[in-house]
Amino acid sequence: MSRETRRNVAVTGYRACTAERRAQKRTVLSRRQCFTVLRPDVWQIVQDKLRLQWSPEQISSWLEETYDDAAMQVSHETIYAGLYVLPRGTLRKELLSQLRRRHRQRRKRGKLLHDRRGQIPDLVSIHDRPADVEGREFVGHWEGDLILGRGKKGAIATLVERKTRYLMLCKLSAPSAEEAWKKMAKRFNELPEHLRQSLTYDRGREMSRHVKLTKAAKVKVYFCDPQSPWQRGTNENTNGLLRQYFPKGMDMTKVTKKDLRFVEDRLNGRPRKVLQWKMPREVFTSYLTVALGS
C-alpha cells in the first residue's frame, strides 16, 4: 500500500483515477522499451516489412517461420502496440501510413460496363464451369476485372490465379473490348498452357470479345451472374489491395509498365495466411518449375 501511494500521490493527495492513468502510462512505456528499444534487431525487421506494406500478422507469421529463436519472434498484437505507442513524429507517421485499411465496397459500375447478357455473344455461365475450378483443386484458373481511371480514359486489367493468388496486371489505354482481349492474351501467353486454363469474369462489355481471347490464348472464359461480385471473391479482394497503389480518381493513363511490375512484385511477395504464410510468387513458381522440368 505504501509503495502504491508513493508512486501515485499527487500534490493534492492520492486519487484513484490519477493512479490508474499513471499505471497505464507505465504499462505503455514498458511495452515500448521491451519491443522497440530492447529488441532493435526485430524492430528493424518489422520496420522493413511494414515499408513493403506487409501487415503485422504477415510479419509475425514470417518471423515465426524464419527464426527458431523465440527472441526473434513477436506477435502481431505486439507490433500494433509498438506502432501506436511510438512518439509522435516522422517515423510513427510513416509506419502507420503503411498499414492497410479496410476498403469500402466498390460501387457498382454504370451501364457502360455492366450490360445485359444478350450483349455478350456466346456467353458461357459460371454455372457451367467445371466443379474442380470452384474447389481450387488445380492451378491455372483465373479471375479478372478492370480498375478504371479518372474519366474512364484508362484502366488496369487485374488477373488473379485462384489457387495461388498470383497477380498479373495489364495497362489499357481505354476500357475497350479490343484493347482488353489483346492485352490479356499477351500476358496469358507468357505462361505455359496448363497455367492458363480458364478466366472467370463479370459481365462487363470489355469482355464482349472473349472468343478472340480464347482462340489467342486458349483460355476458356466464364461469366458471373449479373451484380454478383462474390462469385469472383479472390479478384474483388485483390482489387481492394490494389487501391492502396491506384486510388479512385487516379489518372491511369500515366501508369507505366514499371509501375505495374512494382505493384505485382509487392503483392506477389507478401506471405498469405490462406497459403500457410507462403508467398503467391513462391507457390505459383513451384508449378511453373514443374512445367519447365517436365
Across the strands, what pairs with 5? Answer: none
How far is 69 from 72, CA to CA, in rounded Å?
6
Copy the grid coordinates of residue 242: 490494389
Q: Are residue 186 and residue 150 in the same domain, yes or no? A: yes
Q: Are residue 53 and residue 156 in the same domain, yes or no? A: no
Provide Rg for the chain, Cα atoms. Answer: 25
How far is 180 from 262, CA to CA, in rounded Å?
21
Secondary structure, 3-state, 2-25: HHHHHHHCECCECCHHHHHHHHHH
In a domain, 104, yes or no: no
Q: pLDDT tens digits for 24-72?
A: 555 544 444 556 777 889 989 999 988 888 888 889 889 988 898 888 9
pTM (2 d.p.):
0.69
In a domain, 50, yes or no: yes
Give me the phi and psi of 39, to 5 degrees please: -130, 65
Domain assignment of residue 212, given as a range: 117-293
Per-residue model confidence (pLDDT) at position 13: 54
In a domain, 110, yes or no: no
In a domain, 108, yes or no: no
Q: Are residue 170 and residue 286 in the same domain, yes or no? A: yes
In a domain, 109, yes or no: no
Per-residue model confidence (pLDDT) at position 100: 62
- Split into its structural domains, the chain has a count of 2
The SS3 of residue 229 is helix
Residue 55, amino acid: S
In a domain, 103, yes or no: no
Per-residue model confidence (pLDDT) at position 291: 54
Per-residue model confidence (pLDDT) at position 95: 81
In a domain, 287, yes or no: yes
Residue found by looking up cell 490479356 in the block: 184
Q: Are residue 30 and residue 133 in the same domain, yes or no? A: no
Per-residue model confidence (pLDDT) at position 24: 52
Q: Are residue 31 and residue 86 in the same domain, yes or no? A: yes
* Low-confidence residues of the chain: pLDDT under 70: 1-35, 100-118, 289-294
How far is 154 from 177, CA to CA, in rounded Å?
13
Residue 82, amino acid: G
Q: Name the residue among 189, 196, 249 with its Cα closest to residue 219.
A: 196
Domain boundary among 65, 98, 131: 98
How far is 255 from 173, CA to CA, in rounded Å?
10
Per-residue model confidence (pLDDT) at position 143: 97
Q: Are residue 14 and residue 146 in the same domain, yes or no? A: no
Supply the CATH number for residue 270's domain.
Answer: 3.30.420.10
Please enumerate in sequence order all residues whose Cβ is within 8 A of that of 61, keeping only pairs 6 or more positions apart, or say none.
271, 273, 277
The total number of residues written for the chain in this structure: 294
Copy the grid coordinates of residue 183: 492485352
In a domain, 39, yes or no: yes
How far is 183 from 174, CA to CA, in rounded Å?
11
Copy the grid coordinates of residue 175: 476500357
Q: Are residue 69 and residue 123 in the same domain, yes or no? A: no
Per-residue model confidence (pLDDT) at position 97: 78
